[in-house]
């Protein structure tokens, strides 16, 4: 089976309404170029908070500008049972494509109200939400913003283009999370990152080789001029307004760990590649960590499904 896979590498708007319009326009462009599957980066809506790492005082616990940025992020986040998530489903349906994207998720009421999550959503070409995964462990400064997720969405799901799964950023260094994904029978894995820098490239390529699956490594973009004006850029990390503080680095990797599309940095682009899923089967001859290389007689492994309250 062959398909066209696409990664959208662009700057997020930070505003929910315009982000939905931008998502539609970019998805339509990708599908017009032939894409059957379109992937967007980590927290594409409303955008990754790279200011945590490149601005002075961004990590202060009780800093009023940071609190206001958190409030703004919550205002423009996605409610999975709300109109914003429905709008994403409509985009997938109108495009007739499988859609995978990172969002910041807001819980609107009840248990967990006030907590945001780093979330990965997968939509089928009929607009149905097929998978809802919350990042298991927010990394480093992210813990100021996002709550811990759960294993409810740590799995691949059936789509017309094969079984599609995904993990978020440093989850690719969690061996048991990887194994849970491998055992769910992925054909295509969407690895979302803020920027796919060198070590993230290593993790993405290793995942493809280990899982014998195609990996879409999706990275975001942001120029320093678009950092929050309420925070001062750190002089050791930001050299000028034209600097890319998020550099993209998106790439498409085959099930042998080799690049199908080499990493693209410092420019907006829709990466496209024709994928032959039969290559996954060919590579499984030598390694299948969820099958003939699993040795269940020696090792046992379970996943605690269910939404964490």
Summarised one tens digit per residue, pLDDT across range 146-176 is: 999 999 999 999 999 999 999 999 999 999 9
Query: Residue 45 domain-assigned?
Result: yes
Report pTM: 0.95
Residue 108: what pLDDT?
A: 85
What tens digit of pLDDT does each residue of 85-139 get? 999 999 999 999 999 999 999 998 877 788 999 999 999 999 999 999 999 999 9
Q: Is 29 among the residues known to form the active site?
A: no
For position 1, what pLDDT does the model report?
Answer: 87
The answer to the question of residue 300 being in a domain is no
Query: Residue 271: inside a domain, yes or no?
Result: yes
Q: Which two tokens stand for residue 88?
A: 């994403």
Long-range contacts of 104-111 (CB under 8 A, 24+ apart): 104/43, 104/45, 104/46, 104/73, 104/74, 104/76, 104/77, 104/78, 104/146, 105/77, 105/78, 105/79, 105/80, 105/134, 106/74, 106/77, 106/78, 106/79, 107/79, 108/79, 108/81, 108/82, 111/309
Q: What torsion do the CA atoms of 206, 159, 177, 256 make, to the nearest 10 degrees?
A: -10
How many domains is the chain built from?
1
Asked if 275 and 251 touch (Cβ cutoff 8 Å), the reply is no
pLDDT at 216: 98
Compute the average pLDDT of residues 287-307.
88
DSSP-based helix, strand, coil % in the chain, nearest 5: 30, 30, 45
Q: Assess if residue 301 is contained within a domain.
A: no
| Ramachandran assignment for 189, one of left (phi > 0), alpha (psi -120 to 50 degrees), beta (any other) | beta
Find the catalytic residue in 95, 105, 135, 171: 135
Query: Considering 55, 169, 213, 280, which one is annotated as catalytic?
Result: 169
The answer to whether residue 100 is domain-embedded is yes
Q: Compute φ and ψ for 242, nearest 5 degrees.
A: -90, -5
Higher pLDDT, 140 or 248: 248
pLDDT cut 70: percent of the chain above it: 100
Which of the pair, 204 or 1, is modelled with greater confidence? 204
Examine the pLDDT at 213 and tell me if it is beyond 80: yes
**Within a domain: residue 291?**
no
> What is the reported pLDDT for 57?
86
What does the pLDDT average to over 271-288? 94
Instruction: Give the burial string for 240-260 (b: 16+ CB within 10 Å, else e).
Output: eeebebbbbbbbbbbbebebb
pLDDT value of residue 219: 98
Q: What is the CATH number of the domain that holds 61?
A: 3.60.110.10
Contacts of 252 (CB under 8 A, 6+ apart): 5, 7, 214, 215, 216, 217, 259, 260, 261, 271, 273, 275
Q: Has 169 been annotated as catalytic? A: yes
Provide the angle, in degrees to the nearest 10, between the axes of the packed helices 175-183 and 198-211. Answer: 40
**What distance separates the 2 farthest-apart alpha carbons in the chain?**
58
Q: Is 67 a catalytic residue?
A: no
* Backbone torsions φ then ψ of 109, nearest 5 degrees: -165, 170
* Residue 305 belongs to a domain: no
Domain that holds residue 112: 2-284
- Quote the pLDDT of residue 309: 67
Query: Which pLDDT tens digit goes with each residue over 12-56?
Result: 999 999 999 999 999 999 999 999 999 999 999 999 999 999 998
Q: What is the pLDDT of residues 48-71, one digit of tens each?
A: 999 999 998 887 778 899 999 999
Read off the pLDDT of residues 247-262 as tens digits, 9 standing for 90 and up: 999 999 999 999 999 9
- At residue 306, the pLDDT reads 79
Q: Is 299 part of a structural domain of the chain?
A: no
| Whole-number Å distance between alpha carbons of 74 and 43 | 12
For Cα atoms 23, 16, 188, give the angle at the middle one, nearest 5 degrees. Answer: 40
């Amino acid at each position: 089976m062959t398909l066209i896979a696409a990664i959208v590498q662009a700057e997020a708007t930070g505003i929910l309404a315009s982000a939905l319009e931008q998502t539609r326009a970019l998805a339509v462009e990708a599908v017009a170029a032939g894409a059957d599957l379109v992937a967007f980066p980590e927290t594409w809506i409303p955008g990754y908070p790279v200011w945590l790492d490149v601005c002075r005082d961004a990590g202060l616990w009780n800093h009023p500008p940071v609190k206001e940025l958190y409030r703004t992020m919550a205002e423009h986040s996605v409610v999975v049972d709300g109109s914003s998530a429905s709008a994403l489903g409509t985009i997938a349906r109108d495009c007739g494509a499988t859609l995978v994207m990172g969002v910041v998720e807001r819980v609107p009421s009840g248990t967990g109200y006030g907590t945001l999550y780093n979330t990965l959503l997968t939509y089928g070409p009929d607009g149905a939400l097929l998978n809802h995964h919350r990042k298991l462990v927010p990394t480093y400064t992210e813990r100021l913003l996002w709550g811990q997720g759960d294993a409810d969405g740590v799995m691949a799901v059936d789509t017309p283009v094969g079984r599609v799964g995904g993990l978020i950023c440093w989850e690719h260094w969690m061996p048991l999370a990887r194994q849970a994904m491998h055992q769910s029978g992925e054909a295509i894995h969407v690895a979302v990152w803020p920027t796919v820098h060198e070590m993230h490239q290593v993790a993405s390529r290793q995942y493809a080789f280990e899982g014998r699956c195609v990996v879409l490594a999706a990275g975001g973009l942001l120029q320093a001029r678009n950092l929050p004006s309420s925070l001062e850029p750190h002089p050791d990390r930001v050299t000028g307004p034209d600097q890319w503080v998020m550099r993209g680095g998106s790439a498409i990797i085959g099930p042998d760990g080799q690049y199908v599309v080499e990493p693209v940095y410092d420019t907006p682009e829709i990466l496209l590649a024709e994928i032959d899923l039969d290559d996954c089967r060919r590579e499984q001859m030598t390694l299948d960590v969820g099958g003939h290389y699993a040795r269940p007689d020696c090792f046992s492994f379970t996943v605690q499904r269910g939404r964490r309250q």
